[in-house]
């Protein structure tokens, strides 16, 4: 394999690392006490990302299709990341982050419903392992009680809904790569998400809260925006040569970086959640295993 061919794989590794830090920065931004903090944090998160991506988008060909698809996708991503940010800021990072992998299950469901993808032994075992892993996230006497407690948790509910909306957004991402460069498409996604959420906060009369967050936590805000922008850009670059069926399960490895950082930064109890994450990641790979074997 040539050095050029290795570039998408390098960016996939970069994405895994950046995703791990992304959750930590978002959690740190959420210490501003206000019920609108999640949406304001998301605006800052994507607004700084928009500015970071702008220089990379300048000079590239911009098609009408790429703008239209980016806008439609941004509607799902706006809601998804609003809930994503709220989930991380309200819950424990090591608890809610593994739930983000539900987008893999939703992608699988969509592929079965709309692409007539078959259900095989590996996919069934993979889904079962994911649910077994989820049962280890909360301490309980048995699997059923553990899952019930998990799904009743508000922060967990928000992350699951976020993962559903993200899965829908990923479908549009796949279409966009055919007629748009990663830099142009990612710039418009970030621009529209920022615009959509800023419009909502303007109607609520709380747009000034975004300024307060940046003033109170300038380094964290800038770091969060940059990490978020370049992790998404890295994913789109990886998509140019790596099938989503490989990129998504490999990206799920970021959960282990999150667990390490959650322990170091927030002193969260993560020992049992490492077991949970292991089951979940193995389950994710099994869901995509037939496709991976077919591609390779």
Which class for 285: exposed (0-12), middle (13-18), buried (19 or more C-beta within 10 A)?
A: buried
Q: Which residue has the higher pLDDT, 222 or 287?
A: 222
Quote the DSSP letter at residue 267.
Answer: -
Find tokens 């061919």 and name the residue.
Answer: 5
Find tokens 């099994």 and name the residue.
Answer: 286
Q: Where are the alpha helices (DSSP H) in the chain?
A: 3-29, 37-57, 64-90, 93-96, 102-114, 121-135, 143-152, 154-176, 182-203, 208-216, 218-239, 244-251, 254-266, 271-295
Summarised one tens digit per residue, pLDDT across range 64-106 is: 888 888 999 999 999 999 999 999 999 999 999 999 888 888 8
Total domain count, the chain: 1
Do you know the residue count of the chain?
A: 296
* Residue 270: both structure tokens together: 């993560």
Is residue 290 very low, low, confident or very high in pLDDT (cuts 50, 70, 90)? low
pLDDT at 202 (0 to 100): 95
End-to-end CA distance of the chain: 13
146: Cβ contacts below 8 Å, ≥ 6 apart: 134, 135, 136, 137, 138, 139, 140
Are the C-beta atoms of 42 and 85 separated by less than 8 Å?
yes
Are the C-beta atoms of 66 and 176 separated by less than 8 Å?
yes
Are the C-beta atoms of 221 and 162 separated by less than 8 Å?
no
pLDDT at 32 (0 to 100): 54
* Nearest Cα to Cα of residue 100 among 112, 118, 84, 115: 84
Domain of residue 64: give its range. 3-295
Summarised one tens digit per residue, pLDDT across range 205-251 is: 999 999 988 998 899 989 988 898 888 888 878 877 777 667 777 88
118: left (phi over 0), alpha (psi -120 to 50) or beta: beta
């Amino acid at each position: 394999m040539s050095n050029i061919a290795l570039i998408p794989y390098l960016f996939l590794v970069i994405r895994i690392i950046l995703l791990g830090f992304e959750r930590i920065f978002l959690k740190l931004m959420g210490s501003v006490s206000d019920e609108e903090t999640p949406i304001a944090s998301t605006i800052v998160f994507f607004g700084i990302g928009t500015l970071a991506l702008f220089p990379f988008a300048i000079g590239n060909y911009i098609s009408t299709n790429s703008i239209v698809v980016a806008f439609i996708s941004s509607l799902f991503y706006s809601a998804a990341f609003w809930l994503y940010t709220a989930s991380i800021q309200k819950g424990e990072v090591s608890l809610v982050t593994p739930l983000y992998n539900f987008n893999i299950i939703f992608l699988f469901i969509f592929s079965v419903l709309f692409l007539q993808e078959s259900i095989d032994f590996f996919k069934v075992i993979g889904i079962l392992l994911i649910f077994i892993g989820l049962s280890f996230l909360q301490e309980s006497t048995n699997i059923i009680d553990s899952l019930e407690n998990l799904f009743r948790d508000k922060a967990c509910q928000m992350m699951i809904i976020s993962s559903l909306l993200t899965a829908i957004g990923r479908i549009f991402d796949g279409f966009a790569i055919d007629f748009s460069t990663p830099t142009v498409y990612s710039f418009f996604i970030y621009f529209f998400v920022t615009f959509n959420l800023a419009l909502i906060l303007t109607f609520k009369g709380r747009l000034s809260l975004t300024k307060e967050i940046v003033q109170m936590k300038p380094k964290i805000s800038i770091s969060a925006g940059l990490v978020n922008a370049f992790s998404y850009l890295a994913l789109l670059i990886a998509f140019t040569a790596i099938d989503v069926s490989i990129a998504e399960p490999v990206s799920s490895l970021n959960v282990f970086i999150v667990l390490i950082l959650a322990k170091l930064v927030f002193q969260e109890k993560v020992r049992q959640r490492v077991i949970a994450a292991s089951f979940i990641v193995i389950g994710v790979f099994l869901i995509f295993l037939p496709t991976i074997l077919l591609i390779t």
